[in-house]
Amino acid sequence: MIQVLSYAKYNLIRPIIKSVQFSKSRNNEFTKELKTRINLYFQENNKRKQGGLQMYIKAVVMFSIYSLPLIMVITNVVSHPFWVIMMYVISGIGMAGIGMGIMHDANHGSLSRKNKINNLFGKSLDFVGCSSAVWKLQHNVLHHTFTNIDDHDEDIETPFFLSFSPNTKKYWIHKFQHLYAWIFYGLITIYWVTAKDFLALRKYRKLELIRDGKTFTKEIFKTIFWKLFYYCYVLVLPIIFNSVGLGWLILGFFISHFITGLFISIIFQLAHVMPDMSFPKADENNLIHSNWFEHQLESTSNFSPNSPVLSWFIGGLNYQIEHHLFPNISHIHYRKISKIIAQTAKDYDLPYHVNENFFVAVWRHLKMLRTLGNMRSAI
């Protein structure tokens, strides 16, 4: 709800039709108290909610991890098959770091106080072959507003061979999804840099999330331009200037994306497709019987709260509760404000889901996939 209004400034979307609404009467005191405590933390510690210098340093590090290996391939500094593959592997790790640690904050407007800087760093998604405009609609607007709500949150909309919600139709193949889902996680960014953005733009045009035909056409051409630019430096230039051979370069490109896709998919899945998460259905009046803040606590989970290195690399996405409640706050603050949110939730007898480490969270996600796969169809 609050995300829909705050992202209208991008001149891309119109206010989404509120086919689902959240309760305006439940736990309002919790919402007010939580906002008060969070604001008080920043006031008392004289801190800004944005990232600042720490984010700029991280940006230099992540872009270096991503770009330098590609430069070495393009300039033929490395030409042995093993080292070419390793350069693409390292670049894939950097691409994941850019997406989670830089682009994510920027496109939520929390990297800097200046919109121009946020927009500039937000374009890093276009730089790696994906549309930042599509991402803002799919992630900032739909996912953050309607988390885990079928037909609204695209993060739980899947092809027929996967099921991420107890409310969707089940097929026999879902019984094995806990075994094969990981392969498709690894393929997600390959799909992203090829077809996903175009299909999403067409869908959002039909849903009237994109304002008019002129805007739609503009976004199509921008998406084509950035994808051509991406393929030019990540594949075409290496093919022209590197002596390793076409097959090795294509293999490196594929491995790079598989690593990125697998890592990003797992990190985001650990936030919502987990045991104890809520997948609510609206009543006959299209009402969800939780207020928006309460709903985020019920449908979101943290993991690895004591892993600062992991948290730094993945942009604080192990603190997904904090991110969903306050996406306008940079992830560099999540660890500190997590204590405030956890205590406030406890004071109001509301859930605050945490998995103690990454591997426990992955195991519980696997079990959730198996549980969903063995459910009977809800429709």
Contacts of 90 (CB under 8 A, 6+ apart): 65, 69
- Write down the pLDDT at residue 18: 54
Confirm whether 184 is domain-assigned. Answer: yes
Confirm whether 211 is domain-assigned. Answer: yes
Confirm whether 379 is domain-assigned. Answer: no
Q: CA angle 3-6-7, nearest 5°?
A: 85
SS (H, E, C) the chain: CHHHHHCHHHCCECCCCCCCEECCCCCHHHHHHHHHHHHHHHHHCCCCCCCCHHHHHHHHHHHHHHHHHHHHHHCCCCCCHHHHHHHHHHHHHHHHHHHHHHHHHHHCCCCCCCHHHHHHHHCHHHHCCCCHHHHHHHHHHHHHHCCCCCCCCHHHCCCCCCCCCCCCCCCHHHHHHHHHHHHHHHHHHHHHHHHHHHHHHHHHHHCCCECCHHHHHHHHHHHHHHHHHHHHHHHHHHHHHCCCCHHHHHHHHHHHHHHHHHHHHHHHHHHHCCCCCCCCCCCCCCEECCCHHHHHHHHCEEECCCCHHHHHHCCCCCCHHHHHHCCCCCHHHHHHHHHHHHHHHHHCCCCCEEECCHHHHHHHHHHHHHHHHCCCCCC
Print pLDDT tens along the chain (379 aa).
333 333 333 333 444 445 788 888 777 899 999 999 999 999 999 999 999 899 999 999 999 999 999 999 999 999 999 999 999 999 999 999 999 999 999 999 999 999 999 999 999 999 999 999 999 999 998 999 999 999 899 999 999 999 999 999 999 999 999 999 999 999 999 999 999 999 999 998 888 888 788 889 999 999 999 999 999 999 999 999 999 999 999 999 999 999 999 999 999 999 999 999 999 998 888 888 889 999 999 999 999 999 999 999 999 999 999 999 999 999 999 999 999 999 999 999 999 999 999 999 999 999 999 999 998 765 5
Q: Is the dihedral of CA 108, 112, 116, 118 positive or negative?
A: negative
What is the tally of structural domains in the chain? 1
- Write down the pLDDT at residue 45: 95
For residue 15, give the nearest of 211, 220, 287 by alpha carbon.
211
Half-sphere CA count of 305, side-chain side, radius 13 A = 19
8 A C-beta contact, residue 275 and residue 299: no
Contacts of 61 (CB under 8 A, 6+ apart): 97
8 A C-beta contact, residue 274 and residue 364: yes
Confirm whether 378 is domain-assigned. Answer: no
For residue 238, give the nearest of 22, 353, 5, 72 by alpha carbon.
72
Give the structural domain span for 29. Answer: 2-373
Confirm whether 138 is domain-assigned. Answer: yes
Confirm whether 44 is domain-assigned. Answer: yes
Confirm whether 275 is domain-assigned. Answer: yes
The two structure tokens encoding residue 173: 């193949």
The two structure tokens encoding residue 39: 């604001």
Confirm whether 131 is domain-assigned. Answer: yes
For residue 253, give the nearest of 49, 78, 87 by alpha carbon.
87
- Write down the pLDDT at residue 5: 33
**φ, ψ at 100 (rounded to 5°):** -85, -35
